[in-house]
Amino acid sequence: MRLTADYHTHTVYSDGKNTFLENFRRAKELGLAEIGCTEHGFSHVFRGLKRRELSQYISELRSAEKETGVRALLGLESNIRGESGLCDLNERDFAQFELFVVGIHVLVNYERIYDSRLGLGSWARSQMHIKPSKSLIRQTTNAFIHAVEKNPIDIISHLNYGCFADAVEVAKCCRDYGTYLEISSKKAHLSDDELAEVANTGVRFVVNSDAHSIDRIGDVARAEEQIRRVGVSLDLIDNIDGKMPSFRLARWRKEHL
């Protein structure tokens, strides 16, 4: 399994350790055709990209892209802020951004106080090994499904890492709307049984590093090990062995801009 592109990476603009230039040079060394730059979303309390930094962020990204010759997608790992599916990347941003990755994170400016259960409450339960309630699973599942239904989301990142959704139900929704599920090489987020069940839905996958430092760019060894252990068909993964994904946001931009 040879990685074609890595669509989940971070820099010093959120909680990464390296610059665009350093990340891109590493991607070039690895022979990656493309790299996705996906800082944490605007509503992340401590680690999110600041809107006031956006112009500088884009300028530095494009400069590093030009210097290295590595194609870069301007993206965001957006936060789901509530059960309604509200994200912190919205339609006014779509003209600028090229990659729309979405996940649930802990320290986020939630839409409602009740929605803090999605991240902070679920994280606490996972750390204390407390079984989630049916209502929490339903709320989290709804949040993912509503987000996918309402937005041209390209990738769901690390599904069920520190949160509790019905993975099969989310996968079916992603399949129907053309959103990819990420198999993350950084975080153990789906059990082997869950991954097998999700793969059986026919949803498409991308494999990503979720790199926060240059030594992790393009490193998908952990994900590859699970893929082979579970027996996920490589035909379902669209960023390996020369394949390139077809992203929803790109289609939206083509239709609306």
Burial class of residue 19, CB neighbours in 10 A (0-12, 13-18, 19+): middle
Tell me the pLDDT tens digit for each residue of 132-183: 999 999 999 999 999 999 999 999 999 999 899 999 999 999 999 999 999 9
CB of 114 within 8 A of CB of 81? Answer: no
Question: Going from the N-terminus, what domains does the chain have, and what CATH number goes with each?
Answer: 5-256 (3.20.20.140)
More confident call, 131 vs 120: 131
Output the pLDDT for position 44.
95
Tell me the pLDDT tens digit for each residue of 68-98: 999 999 999 999 999 999 999 999 999 999 9
Quick one: average pLDDT of 101-124? 92
Task: Give the C-alpha distances (Å, rounded to integers) separating 171 from 8, 30, 121, 125, 202.
Answer: 19, 30, 23, 23, 8
Under the banding of pLDDT at 50, 70 and 90, the label for residue 120 is confident
CA dihedral 196, 124, 130, 115 (to 10 degrees): -80
Nearest to 183 by CA among 160, 162, 202: 160
Instruction: Tell me which amino acid residue 66 is.
Output: K
Count, residues in the chain: 257
* Percent with pLDDT over 70 in the chain: 100
Under the banding of pLDDT at 50, 70 and 90, the label for residue 189 is very high
Quick one: average pLDDT of 11-19? 96
Output the pLDDT for position 126.
86
Nearest to 170 by CA among 155, 186, 191: 155
Tell me the pLDDT tens digit for each residue of 201-243: 999 999 999 999 999 999 999 999 999 999 999 999 999 999 9
The pair phi, psi for residue 225, each rounded to 5°, is -60, -45
Under the banding of pLDDT at 50, 70 and 90, the label for residue 116 is very high
CB of 187 within 8 A of CB of 163? Answer: no
CB of 39 within 8 A of CB of 97? Answer: no
Output the pLDDT for position 33.
96
Under the banding of pLDDT at 50, 70 and 90, the label for residue 188 is confident
